[in-house]
Chain A
Amino acid sequence: MMIEVRVPTPLRGFTGGKESVQANGTTVGDVLGDLSTQFPGLRKHLFTEEGVLRSFVTVFLNDEDIRQLSKQDTAVKHGDVVSIIPSIAGGKPGAVAFPAMSQLSGGKTGTAPPPKRLTQEQMFRYSRHLILPDVGLSGQQKLLNSKVLIVGAGGLGSPLALYLAAAGVGTIGLVDFDIVDASNLQRQILYSKQDVGRPKLEAAEDRIRGLNPDVKVIRHEERLTSQNALEIIRNYDVVVDGTDNFPTRYLVNDACVFLKIPNVYGSIYRFDGQVSVFDTRTGPCYRCLYQEPPPPGLVPSCAEGGVLGVLPGIVGTLQANETIKLLLGKGEPLIGRLVLIDALSLRFRELKIRKNPECVLCGPKATQKELIDYEQFCGMTPDLSADDDMTVEELKSRLDRGETPFLLDVREPQEYEVVKLPNSKLIPVGLLPERLGELPAAADIVVYCKSGGRSAQARSFLLGMGFKRVRNLAGGITAWAQKIDPSLPRY
């Protein structure tokens, strides 16, 4: 019977340019034989001189590899489609030495060192890797020669840096410009009590060196920006996203897409975590998943929304796991899959994510060809009305003068329990729309939250709703506790 055969591009020169031809037979082998008779030029590309199907020629019957069926004896029936699909292999000659080219490469500096042998000490240190079939000596050398950039040395960056350093990833770059704060210690296990007040990267480098002197730490003590991102990122094999804000997350994604470097993504919020690997060579990017950032203020940062301390440990170690797999080229990377973690119910869910053909960054009709202003993209460009923010000093002097503005606290009840301003009214930002009636229409309103983010959001909302005399307390209750009343607890 006649069966449709799909011919791959490289062989169409032998079928008169046809993508699909008909061939006769009752088994796949017969069909391929008839095909070679009709188009004799094909035979030697499909079969060896001994008549065996070449190893790099894959044949499918409908959507199954015939090696999983009865190979060439697989029976065909009317309506079946046989497809020939190329796999590609090659390599240099066996053990023949290269003619002394190195002598001729004068003038070139910075020659990469050949892979170093492991020392006795390293053999011992990495012994549990060396006996793993998927790592072994060559895998360990690969790790030692690898360069990974961790963006953010906080909750996610801590377990990442520690596990990657322990695994012997040879170069770890860290981007962060923050100072260790006591409130970090609940989850940022890179740091100890005595590090409070030190620059994070200084403390991190000490810790990593103490753990594994094989690791070279590169400190990028600066904010990642559209101006420096490509220069920084291009030096690394894999980038791990441990950021806590949307502008940097989009920036990291876009830079990785342009440089074709895999981006191991993780994010956390309260009890929820997400992990995926974005590599646009074979899968989607962050923009395919989230085309646009949420409106500012809708998703609070960990500082504002809180986070279970162990959650970044779970998510960060999953990211470390994916990073090591990518570096080794082993296993099934989390490309095209998004893992959602709910720490409260401890359930892991996996969603398939696909490349978005409309993606402005990595789709076929991509329109964005360079990095943009990510603060603006995420709607975070400070608007002019911020000039109208009230400082804590101004609020203090107004209160001292006997003024009684309506103090509106837009945090969550559990935060209000920790610390609050006297005579303030609590209406969490999410409940504002339904509780507008509780606000005075004519009085001055001063809105505050922990550090000024949610209250700025609340203020714009209130102005939009027709309230005229609303001001935002810059720096929130944290600034109040720092500058006005140090006896108040900070969190």
Chain B
Amino acid sequence: MTVDPIALERAGYPPIGPDLGEVAISPKARATIQLHAERSYPEEACGFLVGPAPGGTENPRQIDEAIPSENERDGNRTHRFLIPYQEVVRIERLLAWGGKAILGYYHSHPDHLAAPSAYDRDHAWPWYVYVVASVEQGHMTELNAYELDPERGMFHSLSQEEGTASHSTHQGAARP
């Protein structure tokens, strides 16, 4: 399931490509994202998605933990987030001890759709899992996962594996 394409277009989001695979997000990671996203409201929350370090080039799709980061963006944090490279390096080094790695990033869209914006796309890296959470009036309502197309033209959605909780905290919330 992804966000309704009509809602996407109405809200000014670029279209989303077909599913590129599955991702398993642990309930613990999901809870962390929710807590962080709700606490940061009305600002955007952002953080790391962490799982077992990949062996080769395959995309591991098992997110065990979410680690909140500061939103280091100067000003306009209600619309933008930034995790500076120093943070990325620091967290990577810490994780390496435990055989874990950054597999992606999450961020919230306060009072907006759980879909990547054009700005998200223009600033994204390939390979990583991007989780976008919608927070409506302080409550997380939806959480979706995406991956950037290797050609950078669009994001593809990643379906969430069964047994890793539902996409929405209440069904159909994103459908106007």
Question: CA–CA, A11 to B90, complex, Å?
Answer: 19
Main secondary structure on B side of the interface with A: loop
Question: CA–CA, A86 to B124, complex, Å?
Answer: 10
Query: Which chain B residues in 112-147 approach chain A with CB under 8 Å?
Result: 112-113, 116-120, 123-128, 130, 134, 136-139, 141
CB closest residue in chain B, given A56: B123
- 17 new A-B pairs (CB below 8 Å) besides A87-B88, A104-B172? A9-B54, A13-B150, A41-B150, A45-B152, A58-B85, A86-B125, A87-B83, A87-B84, A88-B88, A92-B119, A93-B11, A98-B11, A101-B111, A101-B174, A114-B137, A260-B67, A364-B98
Given contacts A9-B127, A99-B10, contact A91 B137 (CB under 8 A): no
B78 CB to nearest A CB, Å: 9
Contact partner of A92 among B82, B94, B109, CB < 8 A?
B109
On whether the beta carbons of A282 and B83 are closer than 8 Å, the reply is: no
**A71-79, A105-113, A305-313, A455-463: which lies at the B interface?**
A105-113
On whether the beta carbons of A11 and B123 are closer than 8 Å, the reply is: no
Contacts of A97 in B (CB 8 A): 11
6 closest A-B pairs by beta carbon, nearest first, are A112-B138, A364-B98, A91-B80, A90-B120, A99-B176, A10-B127
Contact partner of B81 among A91, A138, A281, CB < 8 A?
A91
Interface centre among A98, A138, A363 (most CB of B within 10 A): A98
Query: Which chain A residues in 361-419 approach chain B with CB under 8 Å?
Result: 363-365
On whether the beta carbons of B57 and A16 are closer than 8 Å, the reply is: yes
CB closest residue in chain A, given B89: A85
Main secondary structure on A side of the interface with B: loop
Contact partner of A102 among B72, B98, B137, CB < 8 A?
B137
A355 beta carbon closer than 8 Å to chain B: yes
On whether the beta carbons of B137 and A10 are closer than 8 Å, the reply is: no
**B17-25, B41-49, B158-166: which lies at the A interface?**
B41-49
Contacts of A44 in B (CB 8 A): 151-152
B125 CB to nearest A CB, Å: 4
Give 11 pairs: A residue, B residue, CB < 8 Å, sorted on A. A10-B128, A11-B125, A13-B150, A17-B57, A90-B130, A94-B79, A98-B11, A98-B112, A98-B136, A101-B173, A108-B139
Contacts of A422 in B (CB 8 A): none
Given contacts A93-B11, A98-B11, A260-B68, contact A111 B139 (CB under 8 A): yes
Contact partner of B126 among A10, A281, A355, A365, CB < 8 A?
A10
Question: CA–CA, A100 to B174, complex, Å?
Answer: 9
Question: CA–CA, A363 to B95, complex, Å?
Answer: 10
A195 beta carbon closer than 8 Å to chain B: no
Contacts of B119 in A (CB 8 A): 89-93
A466 beta carbon closer than 8 Å to chain B: no
Question: CA–CA, A460 to B120, complex, Å?
Answer: 66
Question: CA–CA, A89 to B41, complex, Å?
Answer: 18
Question: CA–CA, A85 to B92, complex, Å?
Answer: 11
Contacts of B117 in A (CB 8 A): 90-93
Q: Contact size class for B?
A: 35 or more
Mark A110-127 against chain B: 1 for CB-CB distance below 8 A, else 0: 011111000000000000
Contact partner of A329 among B11, B70, B123, CB < 8 A?
B70
On whether the beta carbons of A100 and B84 are closer than 8 Å, the reply is: no
A357 beta carbon closer than 8 Å to chain B: yes
A337 CB to nearest B CB, Å: 15
CB closest residue in chain B, given A355: B94
Question: Which residues of B line the A interface, CB within 8 A?
Answer: 7, 10-13, 32, 38-39, 41-42, 44, 46, 54, 56-57, 67-73, 76-77, 79-85, 87-91, 94, 97-102, 105, 107, 109-113, 116-120, 123-128, 130, 134, 136-139, 141, 150-152, 170, 172-176
On whether the beta carbons of A85 and B88 are closer than 8 Å, the reply is: yes
Question: CA–CA, A282 to B68, complex, Å?
Answer: 10
Question: CA–CA, A41 to B151, complex, Å?
Answer: 8
A300 CB to nearest B CB, Å: 37
Mark A53-89 against chain B: 1 for CB-CB distance below 8 A, else 0: 0111010000000000000000000000000011111
Question: CA–CA, A138 to B13, complex, Å?
Answer: 27
Question: CA–CA, A94 to B80, complex, Å?
Answer: 9
A237 beta carbon closer than 8 Å to chain B: yes
CB closest residue in chain B, given A109: B139
Given contacts A105-B141, A281-B68, contact A89 B73 (CB under 8 A): yes
A12 beta carbon closer than 8 Å to chain B: yes
On whether the beta carbons of B138 and A111 are closer than 8 Å, the reply is: yes
Mark A186-209 against chain B: 1 for CB-CB distance below 8 A, else 0: 000000000000000000000000
Given contacts A90-B119, A364-B97, contact A329 B68 (CB under 8 A): no
A56 CB to nearest B CB, Å: 5
Contacts of B42 in A (CB 8 A): 114-115
A96 beta carbon closer than 8 Å to chain B: yes
Contact partner of B170 among A54, A100, A107, CB < 8 A?
A107
Question: CA–CA, A258 to B44, complex, Å?
Answer: 23
On whether the beta carbons of A102 and B136 are closer than 8 Å, the reply is: yes
Question: CA–CA, A355 to B91, complex, Å?
Answer: 12
On whether the beta carbons of B68 and A90 are closer than 8 Å, the reply is: no
On whether the beta carbons of B118 and A93 are closer than 8 Å, the reply is: yes
B153 CB to nearest A CB, Å: 10
Given contacts A93-B12, A94-B12, contact A99 B7 (CB under 8 A): yes
A318 CB to nearest B CB, Å: 21
CB closest residue in chain A, given B83: A88
On whether the beta carbons of B173 and A105 are closer than 8 Å, the reply is: yes
Given contacts A44-B151, A91-B120, contact A105 B139 (CB under 8 A): yes
